Amino acid sequence: MGKAQRRAERYNKNITIDLILRDESRDMRLAGPVPCFVVDLSSYGLGLILNQVHFQGHHFFYEPQDNPDNQLYIEREGKKDGEALSIPVRPVWFNLDDDEELRCFHMGVEFQAPPNDERITLLKRIAAGKMGEEGGWFNRLLLKLWT
């Protein structure tokens, strides 16, 4: 999709976040957390890289669409007070990238909260302060491969 056709500006943000599948009717976690790498951030959603979309017997893309009680969340523990966040998201698309160096999935998710929600604002603030600074060998590898 061309830049002029997008409804909001997107930013490359390179932070990690967890993906979790919950059953809202029973108030329980079904699967996760699965660590993801945020490569694209807008006011409406995220582009993620993850190493699996099927975890603990649950498919993160299909189950939220097939069962309305199952809700996908992105979560991040706060390093400081007030930085922990949990945002419900809806999966929109996913692709397998079967590169020779790294096999991973790309997934696009849409926030199930308005663009001006305080949790989305907090995520943007965290991402702005962390751009390219995440530690760990996996994150550094992804930064080299995808930026």
- CATH for 28: 2.40.10.220
Domain around 98: 3-131
**Is 112 part of any domain?**
yes
Among 49-53, 99-103, 110-114, where is mean pLDDT lowest? 99-103
Eight-class DSSP state of 43? S
The length of the chain, given as a count of residues: 147
Between the CA of residue 19 and those of 4, 5, 133, what are the distances in Å? 30, 28, 21
Phi, psi of 43 (to 5 degrees): -70, -15
pLDDT at 100: 60
In a domain, 35, yes or no: yes
Query: Does the pLDDT at position 89 exceed 90?
Result: yes
Q: How confident is the model at residue 132 (pLDDT cuts 50, 70, 90)?
A: very low
Q: What is the mean pLDDT of residues 48-73?
A: 88
Closest to 105 (Cα-Cα) out of 55, 44, 66: 55
> 22-47, pLDDT tens digit by residue?
999 999 999 989 999 888 888 899 99
Is-cis flag, bond preceding 33, omega within 30? yes
Report if residue 30 sits inside a domain. Answer: yes
The pTM score is 0.75
Query: What is the tally of structural domains in the chain?
Result: 1
